[in-house]
Chains A and B, each alone.
Chain A
Amino acid sequence: MSDLLLKINGLSASYGDEDIIKDVSFGMLPGEIVCIVGESGSGKSTLVKAIHGMSDLQITGGNIVFEGTDLATLPSKVRRKLMGNGIGLIPQDPGASFNPIRKLDVQFKESLAGHDMPYDEDKIDKMLKTIGLADGKTVLKNRPFELSGGMNQRIAIAAAMMFEPRLLLCDEATSALDVTTAGAVVEELLKIRESNGTSILLVTHHLGIAKKMADNIGIMKNGRLIEYGSVDKIFESPENEYTRNLIRDVPRLKKKK
């Protein structure tokens, strides 16, 4: 079990009185893609926030072990440094992770400097190319408010990737994108796993994306992880009634005869 990259043991967390996520446990291997699927308010995003640790969320039970270390025991400075290089995040609205009125290259430089990493223009350019932005150097001369949402989202994904994290958290990373761009982002994420061996924890309400990407899928409902297993298992023989309904309710273009 020690080769797990991320191990979540009986995790509960709350913003105040009531636990938003309750007793969640699962593990992730290096290079594994896990999708957490569930309806709005099921606690998916809260789970990501708990792992990321940069919010006023309180862990009320259990722990999160990353590369053998309980994250709660890390001093805040060490934990901060771990975010980015160790654990990257593509938030729900990735474009919002940039200050809208500052030039992107300045923000990239500051981000990297904050993690004692060099600003390698060519590397960033290459990264932006893989994410579909051919003219990266020019794009980075812009301020985020001058670019489209989809562009910002791609740049944010590139920014998260720039740190080459061992674990990438994606909180509905494709929700704000049109279908084509979302597809491209999914492809990119798969490529990134391929080339860097990055583990990806993807939170989504889109079962189609989960099916395409995931090695394992977790189903969340009311803050609990009600089912967890391989893609085949979840789609072929779901144990839980809720999972069966979820799969049945996926909208299809053509109805089966």
Chain B
Amino acid sequence: MKKQKAKLRKRVIIAAVFAGILVLIAVFSGVLAPNDPYATNSELIRQAPSAQFLFGTDNLGRCVLSRVLIGARTTIASTFFLVAISFIIGMIVGMLCGFYGGIVDDILMRIADLMLAFPQMVVAIAVAGILGGGLGGAMIALGITMWTSFARLARSHTLSIKNEPYITAARLQGKNGLQIMMTHIMPNILEPVLINALTQIGTTMIGISGLSFLGLGVVAPQAEWGSMISEARAYIQIAPWAVLFPAAATVITIIVFNYLGDAVMEYRKAE
């Protein structure tokens, strides 16, 4: 059992190191990028990977490596931001529903059911379409359904602890609902919901890149992996590297964050 736990902890550490590296790359992408990711050059279009352009150039002669690096910032930052906002909204809604129950619970949970009744991507495409292009629109579109999973989880955990004697004890101390939620419920349900947030990062990244790929997210010329793939797929046969590298970056990042989420979840389960 101890051996297994040590093994699981090792997995968590490895995944966390990789995820950390990716985040660092995103943060320092401005420094790391060898060329200006937005500088076009008609003489350097669709150059194959070389010493000067490690990942080659795209249809407008822009450095693919620099764009992939800058794109990491857009993709990872927007994903983290979206997951964080959904997490906060979900936590608040879930705790309110679980703690107060009654009509508050009924109304908020029916809204959540309504959101869940449609496939997430379909709702996101529809909402992003209505809101028009742009990263903000794409994030709202995905966020509309995303908070529900956090809310449901937070609610069920709140329900499971709200009748614990220490909550009763807090009531006896004269604490009001808000104080009880902040000091007793939130800290005790934070962990499972946070782990859920970790596992959602991969899916969210697919969502944001997917919407950008469809032209409903990031607008040109901003570098973002989904939109880069979308732009370059028109000439995939001539310059496959322009598709390959942002696609590989997307796949690797999603795998790393999914792996991290799973590893943490399994580790906590073993505990």
A110 contacts B by Cβ under 8 Å: yes
Tell whether B4 is near chain A: CB-to-CB under 8 Å: no
* B residues near A111, Cβ cutoff 8 Å: 169, 172-173
Counting contact residues on chain A (CB < 8 A from B), the size range is 20 to 34
| Contact A98–B175 (Cβ < 8 Å) | no
**Binary CB contact string for chain A from 53 to 84 against chain B (1 if under 8 A, 0 otherwise):** 01100000000000000000000000011011
Is A99 positioned at the interface, with any CB of B under 8 Å from its CB? yes
The answer to whether the Cβ of B165 comes within 8 Å of any Cβ in the partner chain is: yes
Residues on B with beta carbons closer than 8 Å to the beta carbon of A80: 171-172, 174
**Interface residue? A1 (CB, 8 A):** no
A207 to chain B, nearest CB (A): 26
Main secondary structure of the interface of B (DSSP, over half): helix
Q: Which residues of A contact B171 (CB under 8 A)?
A: 54, 80
Smallest beta-carbon distance B162→chain A, Å: 12
Contact B187 A102 (CB under 8 A): yes
Contact of A54 among B166, B172, B188 (CB under 8 A): B172
Are the CB atoms of B184 and A114 closer together than 8 Å? no
A229 to B169, CA, bound (A): 33
CA distance A102 to B164 in the complex (A): 15
Q: State how many angstroms separate the Cβ of B187 from the closest Cβ of chain A.
A: 6
Flag if A101 contacts B164 (CB, 8 Å): no
Q: Does A233 contact B (CB under 8 A)?
A: no
> Using Cβ atoms and an 8 Å threshold, which residues of chain A touch B175?
110, 114
Contact partners of A97 in chain B: CB under 8 A: 165-166, 168-169
A218 at the B interface (CB under 8 A): no
What 0/1 readout, one digit per residue, does chain B (147-183) give for beta carbons within 8 Å of chain A? 0000000000000000011101111111100000001
Q: Point out the residues of chain A lying under 8 angstroms from B165, CB to CB.
A: 91, 93-94, 96-97
Residues 101-116 of A contacting B (Cβ, < 8 Å): 101-102, 110-111, 113-115
CA distance A111 to B172 in the complex (A): 8
* Chain A contacts for B172, CB-based, 8 A: 54, 80, 83-84, 111, 114
Q: Does A27 contact B (CB under 8 A)?
A: no
CB closest residue in chain B, given A111? B173
Interface positions, chain A 84-132, Cβ under 8 Å from B, are 84, 91, 93-94, 96-102, 110-111, 113-115
Give chain A residues whose Cβ lies under 8 Å from the Cβ of B174. Answer: 80-81, 114
Task: Tell me, in angstroms, the Cα distance from A55 to B166 when the chains sit together.
Answer: 13
12 other contacts beyond A54-B171, A97-B168, A110-B173, with CB at 8 A cut-off?
A54-B168, A80-B174, A81-B174, A97-B165, A97-B166, A100-B166, A100-B188, A101-B187, A102-B184, A111-B172, A111-B173, A115-B173
Q: Which residues of A contact B (CB under 8 A)?
A: 54-55, 80-81, 83-84, 91, 93-94, 96-102, 110-111, 113-115
Interface set of B (CB-CB < 8 Å, partner A): 164-166, 168-175, 183-184, 187-188
A-B complex: 4 closest residue pairs judged by Cβ atoms: A114-B173, A97-B165, A96-B165, A114-B174
